[in-house]
Homo-oligomer: A and B are copies of this chain.
Amino acid sequence: MEKNMMDELIEKIKEKKSPIVMGIDPKYEMLPDVVKSKYPKTLEGFAKATVEFFKNLIDEIHDVIPAVKPQLAYFEMMGPLGLKAFKELVDYAKEKNLIVIADAKRGDIGTTSQGYANTFLGKTSLEEYEEEIYGADFVTVNPYMGTDCVKPFIEDSKKYNKGVFVLVKTSNKSSGELQDLKLENGNKVYEQVVSLVENWGEDLRGKYGYSSISAVVGATYPEQLKEIREKAPHTFFLIPGYGAQGGKAEDIALGFDKNGIGGIVNASRSLMTAYKSDLWKDKFTEEEYAKATRAEAIRMRDELNQAIYK
């Protein structure tokens, strides 16, 4: 059997018994002073502090989590230097055998989407010259423009053994404005999208039955999570909204199948700022921020496993 990126992700989750992806969301105010104070307060200093901070987190927790999810918006805020920092962290995470999900939420008309797919998953070709740009393993994609928008990402997933998470039901408050609109045929918009995702992923199903073309479904809407799990048995979930946004472990468990697989849960703020959380601030100093993140990742892992395997 050919390699399948979703199989690789699922195997890493099993191996580490940890369905957690650490969000890499470099917000200036979230970085600890012990790191920030080493660098000038400029975009360049911010980019350097970002790389130092997240490399340290990765060093400390790469054995307890299977994946990281850098959020492009925060890297783009630093300008071109931010994209260099993004690349450096993608490379570092891959060296540490982590799966990298580029959270870019891209999408455009076909030929232009090809550009985004090549940027994040594939290669840029200048006639016979080829170069990998970021080499992420997965990228998030916005489905509003339909099949011809998503297709280049599927093609690159086939060609380079990569994968895609398509936005289906997002974790934010206003996600229902479009996604929950009820259609004439009785379905909601997000149900229509998830049925498209099931089709798009047909050729890329791996040995666990899940496809490398899968979906983003928020922890903040547990009913939908449950319903989509039932309707889309080949669609793996990237689940944002755990912790800071309000999603609970028992809600999240609804997105998993009877074998305890089917999703990976994102945690950004709660991992990054564990060192100053009520739970850990008395146990770790600011200098020990990475150890606090590790402790929180283990706590989350256990909490999630308890809910998933109960």
Could you list which residues of chain A lie within 8 angstroms of chain B, going by C-beta atoms?
25, 28-29, 41-43, 46, 71, 73-74, 76-81, 83-84, 87, 103, 105-110, 112-113, 115-116, 118-119, 124-127, 129, 131, 133-134, 142-149, 167, 170-179, 181-184, 189, 192-193, 196, 240
Number of copies: 2
Q: In the complex, which residues of chain B have a beta carbon less than 8 angstroms from the beta carbon of A144? A: 142-144, 167, 170, 178-179
Would you call B71 and A112 a contact (CB within 8 A)?
yes
Q: In the complex, which residues of chain B have a beta carbon less than 8 angstroms from the beta carbon of A71? A: 108, 112, 115
Would you call B41 and A107 a contact (CB within 8 A)?
no
What's the nearest-Cβ distance from chain B to residue A176, in Å?
7
Q: Which of B78, B149, B179 contacts A124 (CB 8 A)?
A: B78
Q: In the complex, which residues of chain B have a beta carbon less than 8 angstroms from the beta carbon of A174? A: 145-149
Task: Give Cα distance in the complex from A46 to B78, angstroms.
Answer: 23
Q: Which of B77, B125, B131, B181 contacts A189 (CB 8 A)?
A: B181
Q: In the complex, which residues of chain B have a beta carbon less than 8 angstroms from the beta carbon of A115? A: 71, 73-74, 76-77
Q: In the complex, which residues of chain B have a beta carbon less than 8 angstroms from the beta carbon of A170? A: 109, 144-145
With known contacts A80-B87, A184-B183, A189-B178, A73–B106 Cβ distance under 8 A: yes
Q: Which of B103, B145, B179, B189 contacts A167 (CB 8 A)?
A: B145
Q: In the complex, which residues of chain B have a beta carbon less than 8 angstroms from the beta carbon of A79? A: 83, 87, 119, 124, 131, 133-134
